[in-house]
Amino acid sequence: MTIEEKYELFDASLEDKLSKEETLVLQEILKDTKIQEEFDTYVQIQNQYINWQKIELDKKVFKQNLDAVKLEQQDTMSPVESDRNNSNAIKVSFVKKYLIPLSAAAVIPIGVFVAMQTGLFTAKQQIAAFAPDELSMERGMEADTFANIVTLYNEKKYQEALPLIETYQKAHPENINIQLAKAICYLDKKDFPLAENELQSIIAQNNMYKEKAQWYLANVYLKQGKQEALKALFKSISKDHFYFTAMKLIAR
Amino acid sequence: MAATHTHTDQFIITGLCNNDTRVIRDVYKNYSAKIYNWIKQNNGTQVEAEDIFQEALMDIFIKAKSSDFTLTCPFDAFLFVIVRNKWFSQLKFNKKMVVTKDAVFLSNTSNNEMKDAEAVIMNERQHQLLGEKLNELQEGCKTLLELSWQGLSMEEVATKLNVTYGYARKKKSLCMAKLIDSLKVNKHIILQ
């Protein structure tokens, strides 16, 4: 039976349009777990699209509302307010309470890292935007440990960072970013089994770090000469990430 | 490990989901200027900042519409994580910032903020992917599938397209086969 014939049956069954004979055929083929899986995928994807279509319509209306409010805000904003908002006046309580510590915590390490990688953003520029001492005031001891980890990691002192990362991760097992950093430290240490464990665990969680973890796992396989595992991994990589590079490497 | 609980700012999510103008107005009033400033301090223009802010709200709206979404952290922190992610992606895309393959950033964002934002980011990728793959199909396929997903029976779809019921049925299975095949590599994103 071709895939199209199967899908015709699936679709007719969902519409309750199967003849008695077709019902029997469908029941028979669904005994095969692989076909049952195909059926489930068919149903799920179709449902996703039905939902997607509804949201697309709602999205247009929501966008119109956003545009209207945006215009309204621009109209009601006095020139003084407009000036203030366009300046660096980060004085409102929202910023003090969340944005400064959050941004400092997040952006300083990113800035330092990117600066080191690219030279485009200097750490000074990033730090100037947010008060670094707010970070330790808000987050206390933990911030010191974390800042230390970030410094060591961003300076590529992976082996010095590793014990700190291991301790930190025990207290924050849900922090996947740290887990990924840990895996990279293991990779640097050439402790491939431990690196692989961490990376596989990240991949299994199916979150936004999956593709990066796959890329590092490929490195783990490459360094161990596991060609077959490497090829299988590359073939499973999502098209919108490292797919094209992966395909080029397979072709080599 | 912190227990998951609904944050008091959940009402903002509900308001956005219901397209409540009062809530949207408050969100703009309270958060837009600070987000704009942050983007402008990070190589962005006013226009880019406005777009990113609006896209982040759209992403939250899509997530809230797609499934039950529980906010477990303050809305402003959550919004900021989404904005930051979007902005760094855009910088990377525009090549204003070179993010090398091994660029893994460390951030001290709380687990709840990260988890909530991640749910929105993944959902947005999923939504975008569904649209992209559908648009890659031929116009005939796209129209037929869209009609069938609108709740019309295949007889009604066939009548609308002026084809026989049998043809419409067969064509749908062919189109679905193409669509599902194109989504295969990204199945982990689509079937979250």
* pLDDT tens-digit readout, A110-131: 433 333 343 333 333 332 222 2
Candidate from B36, B84, B173 with C-beta closest to A11: B173
The two structure tokens encoding residue A36: 């049952």
Distance from CA of B152 to the nearest CA of A (A): 10
Sort out which chain A residues have CB atoms less than 8 A from B19's CB and list them.
58, 61-62, 65
Q: How does pLDDT run across A88-101, given as a tens digit for each residue?
A: 333 333 333 433 34
Q: How far apart are CA A115 and CA A122, in angstroms?
A: 5
The tens digit of pLDDT for each residue in A163-176 reads 988 888 888 777 77
Query: In chain B, positions 56-75, which contact chain A (CB-CB < 8 Å)?
Result: 57-58, 61-62, 65-66, 74
Question: Is B25 within 8 Å of A69 (Cβ atoms)?
Answer: yes
Amino acid at B98: V
* Minimal C-alpha gap between A251 and chain B (Å): 18
The distance from CA B167 to its chain's CA centroid, rounded to whole angstroms, is: 34
CB contact under 8 A, B134 and A109: no
pTM for this prediction:
0.57
> Minimal Cα–Cα distance from B94 to chain A, Å?
13
Give a three-class secondary structure readout of chain B: CCCCCCCCCHHHHHHHHCCCHHHHHHHHHHHHHHHHHHHHHCCCCHHHHHHHHHHHHHHHHHHHHHCCCCCCCCHHHHHHHHHHHHHHHHHHHCCCCCCCCCCCCCCCCCHHHHHHHHHHHHHHHHHHHHHHHHHCCCHHHHHHHHHHHCCCCHHHHHHHHCCCHHHHHHHHHHHHHHHHHHHHHHHHHHCC
Structure tokens at B88: 């760094």
Across all residues in chain A, what is the average pLDDT? 70
Does B190 sit within 8 Å of A15, measured CB to CB? Answer: no
Judged by CB atoms closer than 8 Å, whether chains meet at B108 and A72 is answered as no
Find the closest chain B residue to A245 by CA distance.
B101
- Distance from the Cα of residue A43 to its chain's centroid: 26
Per-residue pLDDT tens digits of chain B, which is 192 residues long: 445 688 888 999 999 999 999 899 999 999 999 999 999 988 889 999 999 999 999 999 999 998 888 898 889 889 998 998 889 888 877 765 544 433 344 445 567 777 788 888 888 888 888 899 999 999 999 999 999 998 888 999 999 999 999 999 999 999 999 999 888 877 766 666
Composition of chain A by helix, strand, coil, percent to 5: 80, 0, 20
Residue B133 C-alpha, separation from nearest chain A C-alpha, in angstroms: 11
Q: What is the reported pLDDT for B100?
A: 40
Distance between CA A58 and CA A63 in Å, rounded? Answer: 9
| Complex ipTM | 0.82
